[in-house]
Amino acid sequence: MTRQSMVMPEVAVPMPPNTASLFAYPPPRAAPGVAVRKKYIQAQMDIGPGRINGWVESMRASSPTHAKAAAVLAAGAVDDERAAWMVRHPSALSKFDQIVAASKGKKIVMFLDYDGTLSPIVDDPDAAFMSDTMRRAVRRVAKHFPTAIVSGRCRDKVFEFVKLAELYYAGSHGMDIKGPTKASRHNEAKAKGVLFQPASKFLPMIEQVHDSLIEKTKCIPGSKVENNKFCVSVHFRCVDEKSWSTLAEIVKGELKEYPKLKLTQGRKVLEIRPTIKWDKGKALEFLLESLGFADCTDVLPVYIGDDRTDEDAFKVLQKRGQGVGIVVSKYPKDTHASYSLQEPAEVMEFLLRLVEWERLSRARPKW
């Protein structure tokens, strides 16, 4: 494997210090000193067993309300920070030619997160529908490149949203992987029929936790507990901030009873999952291997995602020195991705450009 196959923006700007965690926007630019900023970054790390105040701070930082972030942007308060971030993580659209040039002689394999990447973030997780135009774009991508959806959601649920049988699906943050059920020209590879569930022994435990949390959170208006099969999501997007500490106490209390489970955090969601060493990054590696690209230099994995859990996949690409990581975000955030796109609409534009480029390059005479 050569370092040359990792596609980095041409601008030679060093990565920011590796804090290993993704932090949300807006950072406290007006903060007078390092201490405040440190506290802010700390609050964004995965929640440890610490005090409830720390939990609540972390919950607050997990995803800014769009109104708040937009207001800060409108005030021009973070223009410099954003411009600097865009230099380090340029738009995958503006650097499209650079990205496709790097794919010369290589097979592109596409990995797509679902929420916040293919569908916009909405209040009700059950209503995070994907538009028909996005579905058409993903279908077209999958005609040209092996394509996988990698999501924190239960695999069946994400399939209900995406509805494309020709794709690979990795649900429960990669803990539930299944190959396509519909034939396509990429399916002859070894991944056909693959089913991989490294956390299957946790299924009864997750069921118990889910049922118990449904009961215990009934008293908190707006909270929602989602069964993602091998993990449980506790949503607080619609919970009044005054009740966040109560919700955190409940989740913390539940975790105490299950030392084999741990807590991570997504966008306004607390996620309980097995302590096994498996994540979206491992799922990406597993799928590449299943597709027959384990130690190949002629493959270019492209991973697009918006969440902290997608950072595990970006880190894998970085470590392999291979591929293109694209973070979906309107706001600066600490990331291991090389490029950025602002929102699902831009993701769609990128996917369609890729399809068009592939179509034209096939038609082009090769001399």
Ligand X SMILES: O=P(O)(O)OC[C@H]1O[C@H](O[C@H]2O[C@H](CO)[C@@H](O)[C@H](O)[C@H]2O)[C@H](O)[C@@H](O)[C@@H]1O
Q: CA 267 to CA 252: how far, in whole Å?
A: 18
E strand map for the chain: 107-112, 147-150, 168-171, 176-178, 195-196, 224-227, 232-235, 261-266, 269-274, 299-305, 324-328, 339-341
153 binds ligand X, rule: CB under 6 A: yes
Residue among 46, 97, 113, 298 flagged as catalytic: 113
CB of 366 to ligand X, least distance (A): 38
- Residues that contact ligand X, how many (by CB under 6 A): 24
SS3 of 327, please? strand
Q: Which of 54, 125, 222, 292 binds ligand X (CB under 6 A)?
A: 125
CB of 298 to ligand X, least distance (A): 28
Name residues whose C-beta falls within 8 Å of residue 297's C-beta, 6 or more positions apart in sequence: 1, 2, 5, 106, 322
CB of 237 to ligand X, least distance (A): 4
What is the pairing mode between strands 339-341 and 324-328? parallel
Q: In what order do the strands lie in the sheet with 261-266?
A: 224-227, 232-235, 269-274, 261-266
Residue sitting closest to ligand X (CB): 152
Q: How far is CA 354 from CA 43, 158, 338, in A?
A: 37, 23, 17
Question: Is the CB of 309 or the CB of 338 nearer to ligand X?
Answer: 309
Question: Is the CB of 216 or the CB of 308 nearer to ligand X?
Answer: 308
121 binds ligand X, rule: CB under 6 A: yes
Q: In what order do the strands lie in the sheet with 195-196?
A: 195-196, 176-178, 168-171, 147-150, 107-112, 299-305, 324-328, 339-341
For 194-243, the DSSP string reads -EE-TTGGGHHHHHHHHHHHHHHTTTSTT-EEEE-SSSEEEE-TTS-GGG
Task: Choose the stretch contacting ligand X; rule: CB under 6 A; options: 40-48, 85-93, 146-154, 214-222.
Answer: 146-154
122 binds ligand X, rule: CB under 6 A: yes
Q: Is residue 113 among the annotated active site residues?
A: yes
Question: Is the CB of 102 or the CB of 328 nearer to ligand X?
Answer: 328
114 binds ligand X, rule: CB under 6 A: yes
Question: Is the CB of 8 or the CB of 47 nearer to ligand X?
Answer: 47
307 binds ligand X, rule: CB under 6 A: yes
Question: Is the CB of 178 or the CB of 237 nearer to ligand X?
Answer: 237
266 binds ligand X, rule: CB under 6 A: yes
338 binds ligand X, rule: CB under 6 A: no
Task: Choose the stretch contacting ligand X; rule: CB under 6 A; options: 75-83, 244-252, 262-270, 325-333.
Answer: 262-270
CB of 121 to ligand X, least distance (A): 4
151 binds ligand X, rule: CB under 6 A: yes
With beta carbons less than 8 A apart as the criterion, state whether 347 and 117 touch: yes
Q: Footprint of ligand X on residues 220-249 (CB under 6 A)? A: 226, 228, 233, 235, 237
CB count within 10 Å of CB 192 equals 14
Q: CA 153 to CA 279: how far, in whole Å?
A: 13
Q: Look at the chain and count its residues.
A: 367
Contacts with ligand X, residue ranges (CB under 6 A): 113-116, 121-123, 125, 128, 151-153, 226, 228, 233, 235, 237, 266-269, 271, 307, 309
Active-site positions read: 113
